[in-house]
Amino acid sequence: MNRKVIVLVAHDAKKTDILEWAGFNRETLKTFEIYATQTTGQILQDKLGLNINLLKSGPLGGDAQVATMIVEGKVDILVFFWDPLTPQPHDVDVKALLRLAVLYNIPIACNRSTADYIISSPLMNLEVTKSLPEL
């Protein structure tokens, strides 16, 4: 079985949350191929020593890169700690990314509780058959 791909994204107000979550789950995360948007990924690399494939920063196209990866069937799990209280200049990209994650049936965690449930699920060890949405 190939390593599962997890994408980690966090808005500025949620960087501490994702750092704490990733630190707690560091050993489990090492079993994944990890992608992250630039700032989030750089923080996780520097603080936790995780091997992360860096994408662009969210406002500079990183969210669109993640969306493309989803459409191409390259994402197994999305952890996106987004900030519901702060307007984002790239809000359109954020909404498109979340829409595609739902449309393509990608497990998505938008907060620590959901991320904990997903990463600790016994289903994580099963091969996932990806399906394209029907129109």
What is the DSSP annotation of 59-117? GGTHHHHHHHHHHTT--SEEEEE--TTS--TTHHHHHHHHHHHHHTT--EESSHHHHHH
d(CA 24, CA 87): 29
In this structure, what token pair is assigned to residue 8?
């980690």
Query: Using 50, 70 and 90 to split pLDDT, how confident is the model at 135?
Result: low
In this structure, what token pair is assigned to residue 48?
């936790």
Cα 67–Cα 26–Cα 94 angle in degrees, nearest 5: 20
Domain 5-123 CATH superfamily: Methylglyoxal synthase-like domain (3.40.50.1380)
- Per-residue model confidence as pLDDT tens digits over 12-22: 999 999 999 99
pLDDT at 130: 65
Side-chain-facing half-sphere of 20: CA atoms under 13 Å? 9
Query: Using 50, 70 and 90 to split pLDDT, how confident is the model at 129?
Result: low
**Whole-structure pTM value:** 0.92
Catalytic residue among 12, 17, 46, 63: 63
12 catalytic per annotation: no
Residue of 6, 1, 8, 12 lying closest to 88 (CA atoms) = 12
Q: What is the DSSP letter of 27?
A: H
